[in-house]
Structure 1
Amino acid sequence: MKKLIAIVGTNSDQSTNRQLLQCMQKHFANDAEIELAEIKDFPMFNKPVDKTLPECIQKLAAKIDAADGVIISTPEYDHAVPAALINALNWLSYGIYPFVDKPVMITGASYGVLGSSRAQAQLRQMLDAPELRARIMPSSEFLLANSLTAFDADNRLLDRESVKKLDGLFADFMIFIDITAQLNHAHNQNKKEAKEFSWDKL
Structure 2
Amino acid sequence: MHKFIAMVGTNSTESTNRKLLQYMQSHFADQAEIELMEIKDLPIFNKPEDKKVPALAQSMADKISDADGVIISTPEYDHSAPAVLMNALEWLSFYIHPLVDKPVMIIGASYGSLGTSRAQAHLRQILDSPELRARIMPSSEFLLGHSLQAFDDAGNLVDEQKVAKLDGLFADFQVFVEITQKLTHANAANKQEVRDLDWDKL
- TM-score band, normalised by the shorter chain? over 0.9
| Residue 21 (1) aligns with residue 21 (2) | yes
- Structure 2 counterpart SS, 1:17: helix
Find the aligned partners of 2:62 and 2:113 in 1 and give their Cα distance. 36
Find the aligned partners of 1:42 and 1:50 in 2 and give their Cα distance. 18
- Structure 2 counterpart SS, 1:163: helix
Which residue pairs with 2:109 in the alignment?
109
Which residue pairs with 1:41 in the alignment?
41
Find the aligned partners of 1:79 and 1:19 in 2 and give their Cα distance. 21
Find the aligned partners of 2:63 and 2:151 in 1 and give their Cα distance. 28
Find the aligned partners of 2:70 and 2:11 in 1 and give their Cα distance. 18
What is the RMSD of the two structures over their aligned residues, measured on CA atoms? Answer: 1.0
| Residue 172 (1) aligns with residue 172 (2) | yes
Q: TM-score, normalised by structure 2?
A: 0.98
Q: Shift in Å at residue 65 of structure 1? A: 0.3
Q: Shift in Å at residue 198 of structure 1? A: 3.4
- Structure 2 counterpart SS, 1:158: coil
Which residue pairs with 1:89 in the alignment?
89
Question: Deviations 1:72-123 (Å, cap 9, x if unpaired)?
Answer: 0000001010000000000000000000000000000000000000000000
- Structure 1 counterpart SS, 2:112: coil
Q: Shift in Å at residue 199 of structure 1? A: 6.6
Q: TM-score, normalised by structure 1?
A: 0.98
Q: Which runs of 5+ in 1 are unaligned?
A: none
Question: Which segment drifts farther, 191-200 or 52-61?
Answer: 191-200
Which residue pairs with 1:10 in the alignment?
10
Question: Deviations 1:119-163 (Å, cap 9, x if unpaired)?
Answer: 000000000000100000000000000000000111010000000
Identity across matched positions, percent: 67
Q: Which runs of 5+ in 2 are unaligned?
A: none
Question: What is the total number of aligned residue pairs between the two structures?
Answer: 202
- Match runs of 1:1-202 below 5 Å: 1-198=1-198
Q: Which runs of 4+ in 1 moved over 4 A?
A: 199-202
Find the aligned partners of 1:42 and 1:96 in 2 and give their Cα distance. 15
